[in-house]
Amino acid sequence: MIRLVRSLLLLLLCSSTLKAQQFNSRNGYIGFFSSTPLEDIKAENKQVYVIIDTDKKQLAFTCLVKGFLFKKELMQQHFNENYVESDKYPKASFSGSYTGDVTTNKNGTYVIQVKGDLTLHGVTKTITAPASLVVNGQTLTGKSSFQLNPADFNIAIPALVKDKIAKQIDVRVEVVCNPK
């Protein structure tokens, strides 16, 4: 009986230790910004699902493209209908890994390099970006900023508005995750 209890306790300890190495959130943030002399365009999506596995140094994000909100309703409509065709390509996703050591039981800021496959508008491209993971108690916060070129994802910009949209779009990612 004592062996059985010890075995169960050991199993519980091992499974909770393994489980504590995965962090997730359903309300991550991805925002993008385009600035030209003619117009600034900003959109935010606060319904990004993320999972980070610190044991395997892997991470994945996914969001509905229609979740990006703009200040101007017409911009949002053009974005969904004319550019990213969100009815045809409803999700954007990223799956990859990171380099650098993160100690989840030690508070601090850890600088990492993220590399993986971003799928947007039916096109998958490998991207690499600097990022940071901040450990604060049981919370893991991730942040990254990088640039994307819409043309790399076969997003056609009509000639009529090409001067209003930057060739390089600034993207910002911020996620606050808890142990899974």
pTM value? Answer: 0.84
> For residue range 100-131, what is the model confidence (pLDDT) as tens digits?
999 999 999 999 999 999 999 999 999 999 99
The pLDDT-based confidence of 160 (bands split at 50, 70, 90) is confident
Instruction: Kindly state the helix (H) or strand (E) to which residue 30 belongs, with its residue range.
Output: strand 22-35
What's the mean pLDDT in 75-81?
93
> For residue range 22-40, what is the model confidence (pLDDT) as tens digits?
999 999 999 999 999 999 9
Structure tokens at 143: 């942040």
Give the integer Cα–Cα distance in Å for 74 and 166: 18
The residues near 9 (Cβ < 8 Å, ≥ 6 apart) are none
- Cα-Cα-Cα-Cα torsion 152, 69, 25, 32, nearest 10 degrees, comes to 40
Residue 158 has pLDDT above 90, yes or no: no
| Residue 109, pLDDT score | 97
Q: How long, in residues, is the chain?
A: 180
> For residue range 138-151, what is the model confidence (pLDDT) as tens digits?
999 999 999 999 99
Give the integer Cα–Cα distance in Å for 35 and 137: 37
